[in-house]
Chain A
Amino acid sequence: MRIRNTKLTITTPIIYVILTIYAIVNVYPIIWMAINSFKSEQEFAVNQFGIPKKFVLENFMNAWEIANFGVLFKNSIFVSLAATFFTVLIGALASYFLARFEFKFSNVVYGFFAFGLLIPIHSTLVPIFILMKNLDLLNKPYTLLFPYIAFHLPITIFVLTSFMKAFPKSIEESAVIDGAGLFRRFWSIVLPMSRPALATVIILNFIYNWNEFAFALVLINDQNLQTLPLGLANFAGQFTTNYGAQMAGLTMSIIPIIVFYLLFEKNIVKGMTAGAVKE
């Protein structure tokens, strides 16, 4: 015990120094964004670094009204949550089979999911647009769910499969002996044990969906169905940009993601053993 203590006193300060430097580099942009969201256009033009001389709250009001943020927020929340839900549900099922069962072509199936990772998004815009048009799926509240689920399944499956592969098989085997069926094993053993990985992919999916721009741009025309990233782009014109309002909009738009992150983040580091025992 004593040996460990002396060791800690040497390494802990170094660790804190590393982490603090890392933290400062990470926090700077967000603070800059928040500060500049209070500057008027005139002030932003002459002062991009310092604290505003006068705090202008109007940026937030302008952002909310001009960009129609109320509607955009509602749409973004719906699309992000729904797409995340389905992606993780489908992804978890697929990962379970890919991680736990050797079947014919299982590598091929896994490989197919990998393909989805390799295509640059902008080259898929035109074909997806035409496909969605022919299926009469443009401009619907659920339009964006299709590409979002399809394009984010790969990363979801990758992370979950690698995680599930690392489980000790013994726990599940004892459940088989107890007579638990396939779905019961999935639902009450595999899912709870995967909680850290599930939380990870839920967070990642939510962020991807929340920030996705290209598909939202081409697949949706109806202003009442648009999502936040489009509204945020509205502050930039051909020759001018209203930085104050843009920063105010961006500041407001990251609050939900941070809340969402904090909600699920605890699950990432809560040990799997604790979860399994409770079950």
Chain B
Amino acid sequence: MTFVGLANFVELLKDPDFWNSVKNNILVVLASVFGQVPIALLIAILLNRKLKGSRLFRTIGFLPVVLSTVVISITWNLVYNSKYGLINEFLRSIGLDFLTQNWLGDPDLALYSVLVVIVWQFVGLYLIIFLAALQNIPNEVLESAKIDGASEWVTTWKITIPMIWDTILVAIVLCISGSLKTFDLIYVMTNGGPAHSTEVMAIYMFNETFKNFNYGYGSAVSVFIFLFSLVLIVIVRKLFKLKGI
């Protein structure tokens, strides 16, 4: 092994495929933060009320977290398939043929199709984290708000969300760090293709390390991922103006 100084990093910053993976990865982060967190929060608040069957819904909501990526990938591939997939079949059956797409095969669309699955896969994770956090709000607080005549909407915005603010921040940090090293699902579902259109940093790193036998270069990518997450998280923390990460 020879010490190459910053050569790997210089090479990395010059590689258009790498920057393409950074761009895709940023989209994954945005979709996760603005998709997973709000949806999970909404469903958590809905399920936190006394609803019939809420336990069943909670369990079902959590299912995607439990499922193996292999199953998720095969089933969603079948949903998206352009020839016989459920989405296109549905569009054809209601006469909207012109809306049918090659969801995963069109490089302009593939990433967005994958993003839907990524958001879907992890909503359940944040759902149970939020559900747990919601238990921290004493009933008396909510009751007294109701007696004061506050609508449910107002209670949610003015009391519930501020009281679990810390947990929301944690969820966002988990979202960012998780999305920046996301690997499994995309790797199984599209292999990063077609034509690099769904390649993210961790896949780029994995291919360089284990397929092109370029270990040092792969490590340089990892260092980049690490620093990139750190910067993003520090920014988020500043935005939230809260102590602790």
Q: Does A19 contact B (CB under 8 A)?
A: yes
Q: Contact: B46 with A165, CB < 8 Å?
A: no
Alpha-carbon distance A49/B125, docked complex (angstroms): 28
Within 8 A of A (CB), among B157-215: 163-164, 166-167, 169-170, 173-174, 177-178, 180-181, 183, 201-202, 205-206, 209-210, 215
Contact with B along A1-43 (1 / 0, CB 8 A): 0001001000110010011001101111110110000000000
Q: Does B100 contact A (CB under 8 A)?
A: no
Q: Contact: A122 with B226, CB < 8 Å?
A: no
Q: Bin the interface of chain A by size.
A: 35 or more
Known: A15-B51, A163-B167. A254 touches B65 (CB 8 A): no
Q: Contact: B60 with A23, CB < 8 Å?
A: yes
Within 8 A of A (CB), among B89-110: none
Q: Contact: B183 with A200, CB < 8 Å?
A: no
Alpha-carbon distance A166/B141, docked complex (angstroms): 14
Q: Contact: B163 with A166, CB < 8 Å?
A: yes
Q: Does A262 contact B (CB under 8 A)?
A: yes
Residues of chain A within 8 A (CB-CB) of B215 are 126
Q: Does A234 contact B (CB under 8 A)?
A: no
Q: Contact: A27 with B63, CB < 8 Å?
A: yes
Checking A123, A167, A257 against B205 with a beta-carbon cut-off of 8 angstroms, the contacting residue is: A123
Checking B120, B125, B166, B181 against A204 with a beta-carbon cut-off of 8 angstroms, the contacting residue is: B125
Q: Does B113 contact A (CB under 8 A)?
A: no
Q: Contact: A272 with B136, CB < 8 Å?
A: yes
Q: Does A158 contact B (CB under 8 A)?
A: yes
Q: Contact: B132 with A18, CB < 8 Å?
A: no
Q: Contact: B132 with A165, CB < 8 Å?
A: no
Q: Does A269 contact B (CB under 8 A)?
A: yes
Residues of chain B within 8 A (CB-CB) of A188 are none
Within 8 A of B (CB), among A242-279: 246-247, 250, 253-254, 257-258, 261-262, 265, 268-273
Distance between B99 CB and nearest chain A CB, rounded to angstroms: 19
Residues of chain A within 8 A (CB-CB) of B226 are 115, 118-119
Q: Does B27 contact A (CB under 8 A)?
A: no
The SS class assigned to the B binding surface is helix
Residues of chain B within 8 A (CB-CB) of A114 are 173, 177, 233, 245
Residues of chain A within 8 A (CB-CB) of B8 are none
Residues of chain A within 8 A (CB-CB) of B47 are 19
Q: Contact: B136 with A167, CB < 8 Å?
A: yes
Known: A120-B181, A120-B183, A121-B181. A162 touches B166 (CB 8 A): yes
B-contacting residues of A (Cβ < 8 Å)? 4, 7, 11-12, 15, 18-19, 22-23, 25-30, 32-33, 48-49, 107, 110-111, 114-115, 117-123, 126, 155, 158-159, 161-163, 165-168, 196-197, 199-200, 203-204, 207, 211, 229, 232, 246-247, 250, 253-254, 257-258, 261-262, 265, 268-273
- In the A-B complex, the 9 residue pairs with the smallest Cβ-Cβ separation, listed nearest first, are A123-B222, A196-B132, A120-B181, A29-B75, A117-B177, A196-B135, A118-B229, A162-B166, A200-B132
Name 13 extra pairs, CB < 8 A, besides A18-B46, A123-B221. Answer: A12-B51, A19-B57, A49-B84, A117-B173, A118-B225, A123-B209, A163-B133, A197-B133, A246-B70, A261-B66, A265-B59, A268-B131, A273-B139
